[in-house]
Chains A and B, each alone.
Chain A
Amino acid sequence: MSAVEVAAVPATRGFTAPLRFLGSELSLIARRRRNQAGLAVLASVPIIVAIAVRVSNPTSSGSGDGGPEFLSSITGNGIFVALAALALELQLFLPIAVAAVAGDAIAGEANVGTLRYLLTVPVHRTRLLAVKYVGIVVGTFIATVTVAGTGVLAGLLLFGGGDVTLLSGTTIGMGEGLLRLLAICLYLTACLAALGAVGLFVSTLTEQPMGATIAIVMFNMISWILGLIPQIEWLHPYLLTHWWNSFGDLLRDPVAWDPLRNGLLSAAAYIVIFLSAAWARFGTRDVTS
Chain B
Amino acid sequence: MSVMSSRPALRWLVPAAAVAVVVGGGAAVGTLAATAEPSLPPRTAQQLLVDLQTARLDGLSGTVVQSADLGLPKLPNLSGGGSGTADITSLLTDTNTLRVWYSGPDKTRVALMGTLGETDVIRNGKDVWLWSSKANKATHRTISDADAQAHQLPNDLPITPQEAADKALAAVDPSTEVSVGRSATIAGRDAYELVLAPRDKTSLVGQVRIAIDATEHVPLRLEVYPKGSDQTAFQIAFTQVDFARPDDEQFRFNPPPGAAVEEETGTPEADKPDAGLPGHRDGAKTPEEAGLSTVGSGWTTVMVVKGDGKQAEGAEASQAAQVFKALTPVSGAWGSGHLLSGRLFSALITDSGNIYAGLVSPERLYEVALENK
Q: State the A residues within 8 Å of B (CB).
A: 61-62, 64-66, 69-70, 72-73, 75-77, 87, 162-163, 165, 167-171, 230, 233, 245, 248-249, 252, 254, 256, 258, 269, 272-274, 276-277, 279-280, 283-284
Contact = CB atoms under 8 A, between A and B. Distances in A.
Nearest to B4: A283
Contacts of B282: none
A247 to B, nearest CB: 8
B315 interface: no
B240 interface: yes
B118 A258 contact: no
Interface residues of B, number: 46
Given A252-B111, A273-B18, A276-B18, A73 B11 contact: no
Nearest to A248: B116
Interface string B249-273: 0100111111110000000000000
A75 B255 CA distance: 16
Nearest to B94: A230
B193 to A, nearest CB: 24
Contact of B14 (A70, A163, A258, A276): A276
15 contacts: A61-B260, A62-B136, A65-B81, A163-B256, A165-B256, A167-B118, A168-B120, A170-B256, A230-B94, A269-B26, A276-B14, A276-B17, A276-B18, A277-B18, A284-B8
A65 B116 contact: no
Contacts of A66: 82
Contacts of B115: 69, 245, 248
Given A171-B257, A245-B115, A256-B99, 4 more contacts: A167-B133, A269-B22, A280-B15, A284-B9
B225 interface: no
A164 B256 CA distance: 9
Contacts of A65: 80-82, 85, 134-135
B18 A272 contact: yes
B135 to A, nearest CB: 5
Contacts of B99: 256
Interface of B: 4, 8-9, 11-12, 14-15, 17-19, 22, 26, 63, 80-82, 85, 94-95, 99, 111, 113, 115-118, 120, 129, 131, 133-138, 239-240, 250, 253-260
Contacts of A272: 18, 22
Nearest 6 CB-CB pairings of A with B: A76-B258, A165-B256, A277-B15, A280-B11, A284-B8, A169-B131
A244 to B, nearest CB: 10
A169 B14 contact: no
A251 to B, nearest CB: 8
B117 A69 contact: yes
B132 to A, nearest CB: 9
Contacts of A167: 116-118, 133
Contacts of B12: 280, 284
A169 B136 CA distance: 8
A279 to B, nearest CB: 7
Contact of A169 (B4, B9, B113, B253): B253
Contact of B95 (A233, A245, A269, A284): A233
A245 B116 contact: yes
B133 A168 contact: yes
A278 to B, nearest CB: 8
Interface centre among B14, B80, B138, B255 (most CB of A within 10 A): B14
A136 B325 CA distance: 53
Given A233-B95, A258-B240, A87 B258 contact: no
A108 to B, nearest CB: 23
Contacts of B22: 269, 272-273
A277 B19 CA distance: 10
Contacts of B135: 62, 64-65, 72
A145 B106 CA distance: 44
B11 A72 contact: no
A165 B120 contact: no
Contacts of B134: 65, 72
Nearest to A169: B131
